[in-house]
Amino acid sequence: MKHVIKFAPLLVIAAALLWSLDGLLRRHLYELPASVIVFWEHVFGFVLLLPLIIATFKAFKKFTKRQWLSVGLVSFLSGAVGTIAYTAALGRVNYISFSVVVLLQQLNPIFAIAAAAALLRERLSKRFIILSIVALAAAYVVTFPNFTVNFATGTGTAVAALLALGAAASWGISTAFSRYALKDTSPIHVTAARFGLTPLFALGFVLLSGSSSSLGALTASQWKYIAAITFSTGLVALAIYYYGLKFVLASRAAILELAWPLSAVFVGYFWLSERLTTTQLVGSAVLLGAIWLIARDKKTVAEAKAGSVAK
């Protein structure tokens, strides 16, 4: 356990690096409604965790009512609303450009830090606030090297920006609730509970959007990509993230997650042949430095161990 605590910030970063590959996988599912994709990826994850759930079912009885409420809110906000909005945002820009969609990762920490301060009463030192501002500015430069958002695709990009904003708010607020749910609980059990509840909410969105006919209309190739998401950017990444988040303050984890847009730029460079500008390289160096300083800050883990989660 000591080794997990020591490397907890690195686990959060590792999960963020996996999430940077998410767009590459979801771009192949653009023909499916977003709610259908989210439903099946969580069903796949739940089925994989089912043997563990059955074998250790007593562990779930130890969840308090507030923990179940937190998991329920996370499943709805992050698992269903956030992921559906993110997937729909990618669809609005035809799964080609990361530009506006990655905007959500610049906004996510703002919601997460505010929620952590309000709900978990996490202390925000001047050093952390300064590093956060530097990291957010650097992340913006990395994503938008010309300092402007590309709206060349018209209303599709504008709607994508609104969907990205909704995903950012959902995921940011959920970071605080996730950390509360993890108190005195195994991360894998919180992961299992989330994957058990999210399909129910996702199914509700499927029915509300009139997409039920698409539930069983997936092609062999689409099933393959759903499985790929489960084993990489979905279940696996979330489990790694929760193991890290258990021992990292939610406010700090939000900044560490900025490794996502940073790595996404390099994914675009190597897989989509998108050139890196001098501005992006400088921004990347600054962002890496800010993330590294926050990851090495003893307060990031020490205060979390001390029990900064509100009761």
Mean pLDDT along residues 98-127: 75
Tokens read off for 177: 């609730």
Is pLDDT above 60 for 259?
A: yes
Query: Quick one: pLDDT at residue 195?
Result: 95
Of 105 and 237, the structure prediction assigns the larger pLDDT to 237
Q: How confident is the model at residue 310 (pLDDT cuts 50, 70, 90)?
A: very low
Query: Quick one: pLDDT at residue 52?
Result: 92
Is pLDDT above 50 for 96?
A: no
Amino acid at 102: V
- In this structure, of 59-63, 97-101, 156-160, 271-275, the range with the lowest mean pLDDT score is 97-101
Contact in structure between 233 and 181 (CB atoms under 8 Å)? no
Kindly report, residue by residue over 267-276, the tens digit of the pLDDT: 666 766 666 6
Is pLDDT above 60 for 100?
A: no
Give the separation between CA 304 and CA 16, rounded to whole angstroms.
20
Provide the mean pLDDT of the chain.
Answer: 82
Quote the pTM value.
Answer: 0.82
Mean pLDDT along residues 188-199: 95
Kindly report, residue by residue over 155-184, the tens digit of the pLDDT: 566 677 677 778 888 988 999 999 999 988
Mean pLDDT along residues 275-301: 77
Is pLDDT above 90 for 224?
A: yes
Contact in structure between 303 and 122 (CB atoms under 8 Å)? yes
Give the separation between CA 222 and CA 200, rounded to whole angstroms.
21
Tokens read off for 33: 């409604």
Query: Quick one: pLDDT at residue 119?
Result: 82
Query: Quick one: pLDDT at residue 102?
Result: 60
Neighbour-count burial for 192-220, b at 16+ CB within 10 Å, e otherwise: bbbbbbbbebbbebbeeeebeebbeebee
Closest CA to 56 of 181, 239, 189: 189
